Structure 1
Amino acid sequence: MSAQAPRAFVLANTILEAPALLPELRLHLASEVLPLWQASEIALEAEGVPPPFWAFAWAGGQGLARHILDHPEIVKGRNVLDFASGSGVVAIAACMAGARHVTANDIDPFALAAITLNAAANDVGLTVISDDLVGRIDPAWAVVLAGDICYEQAPAARFFAWLQALASAGAVVLLGDPGRSYLPKTGLERVNTYAVQTTRELEDSDLRNAVVWRVLPAES
């Protein structure tokens, strides 16, 4: 797969539109899940391709992005990491809120292409990296943001342990989540809640409450 292929794929299979909770933004989004997922498998000539999380503005990410836009002091003048960035919605919100530098991280090449295209569509500059950052502690990350990462049990536990370690190292760590099954029961402090319009193709309800949580340092 050439470096240009993911970019062309994103442009061919999405439309530029505003997420429900974020009228200030424009993102390349897909209207249907299954056709896009099948198209991804064809493009990669493989079965078992991960779901195209990058092509949808999930409730947790929308809530977290809204919170950052409404409270720009959280990121203003600071270095920000957006983990599992997907479409880049949270990273873009951090840029718009005045972050000094934003790094958007995802391991999916289609997500990396979508983030780059979405950043350009919103006239913001950020750094996109594909490394697996879990376990890395970098003091340059003053704020760490993560939306919708609690879909599967084992990855959610691994991610959360790392986020707590980052909080223990002094970072402000915020997690956006609409009540996923594997959201930890402890180690979190509720910060805000946003009602997000969704579709039943993506969620089990037309409206989800996206909660913004602060991740607390691990107890010693």
Structure 2
Amino acid sequence: MKVATRLLPVPLTPEISLHLAGGEVGLFDLTGGEFRSDEPPPFWAFVWAGGQALARYLLDHPDEVRGRTVHDLATGSGVAAIAAALAGAASVAASDLDPAAVAAAQRNAAANHVTLRTEATGADVLLAGDVFYSPTVAETMTTLLRGARRNNQQVLVGDPGRGYFPERLFTKVAEYVVPVPAALEETETLVTGVWQMR
């Protein structure tokens, strides 16, 4: 899917710029108002609240990732992965079910003069921003994150209260008021937590 984007600073982390759809555009505006099961919507063309909160947290608390290997799961635009790299992670992998998202994250990394790996094995820290937006996805993500935690990985999640977030499994470590496009979220800010899995 061809999506028109432009390089823009991220509202909560202006030290990072990403190739994004404009703030007046909503997710399904980019698909002609249609949802097609054979091609995921371009989630990667937006910087979601959970990813922004994670990115801000990592830039403000670089010790969480400095010198460590990091995997940004369901990377989308790559904002959290890029923040981890800027914060001094030894290496950062960015993965997503949508190959277009991985390509977007790579392009965004290049725009910020950092490198992201695409193979994600054996990370010390697992990041996941805004991944609890539907019951099916939330169940899959919870299983993956719990498995990572059992393997002694630190798990950090950014979530703006999407409704399927399993809060009982996490401890909140930070909270931000995140600017978001009204065309995307039907509001101009979302209170978003950064959570560490217990």
Q: Does residue 95 of structure 2 align to residue 105 of structure 1?
A: yes
2:63 is matched with which residue?
Answer: 73
Query: What amino acid maps onto 2:73 in structure 1?
Result: F
Q: Which has the larger radius of gyration?
A: 1
- C-alpha displacement of 1:204: 3.2
Q: Is the contact made by 1:115 and 1:128 (CA closer than 8 Å) also made in structure 2?
A: no
CA RMSD, 1 decimal: 1.8
Query: What amino acid maps onto 2:96 in structure 1?
Result: D
Q: Does residue 7 of structure 2 align to residue 16 of structure 1?
A: yes
Structure 1: 5+ residue stretches without partners: 1-5
Query: What amino acid maps onto 1:55 in structure 2?
Result: A
Q: Does residue 190 of structure 2 align to residue 201 of structure 1?
A: no
Q: What SS is found at the alignment partner of 2:163?
A: coil
Question: TM-score if structure 2 supplies the norm length?
Answer: 0.92
Measured in 1, the distance between the counterparts of 2:152 and 2:131 equals: 21
Using the TM superposition, name which of 66-75 and 26-35 deviates more: 26-35
- C-alpha displacement of 1:126: 1.2
Structure 2: 5+ residue stretches without partners: none
Question: TM-score if structure 1 supplies the norm length?
Answer: 0.83
Q: What SS is found at the alignment partner of 1:16?
A: strand
Query: What amino acid maps onto 1:165 in structure 2?
Result: G
Q: In structure 1, which of residues 24, 30, 37 is the aligned counterpart of residue 21 of structure 2? A: 30
Post-superposition CA distance 1:38-88 (Å, at most 9, x none): 39x8xxxx9343221100010110000100000000000000000000000
Q: Does residue 169 of structure 2 align to residue 175 of structure 1?
A: no
- C-alpha displacement of 1:185: 3.4
1:47 is matched with which residue?
Answer: 36
- C-alpha displacement of 1:35: 3.4
Query: What amino acid maps onto 1:183 in structure 2?
Result: F
Measured in 1, the distance between the counterparts of 2:148 and 2:99 equals: 25
Measured in 2, the distance between the counterparts of 1:84 and 1:152 equals: 14
Identical aligned residues as a percent: 45
Q: What SS is found at the alignment partner of 1:173?
A: strand
- C-alpha displacement of 1:210: 1.1
Q: What SS is found at the alignment partner of 2:184?
A: coil
Using the TM superposition, name which of 47-56 and 91-100 deviates more: 47-56
Using the TM superposition, name which of 30-39 and 112-121 deviates more: 30-39
Post-superposition CA distance 1:126-150 (Å, at most 9, x none): 1125xxx8xxxx5x21000000000
Measured in 1, the distance between the counterparts of 2:160 and 2:85 equals: 23
The total of aligned residue pairs comes to 194
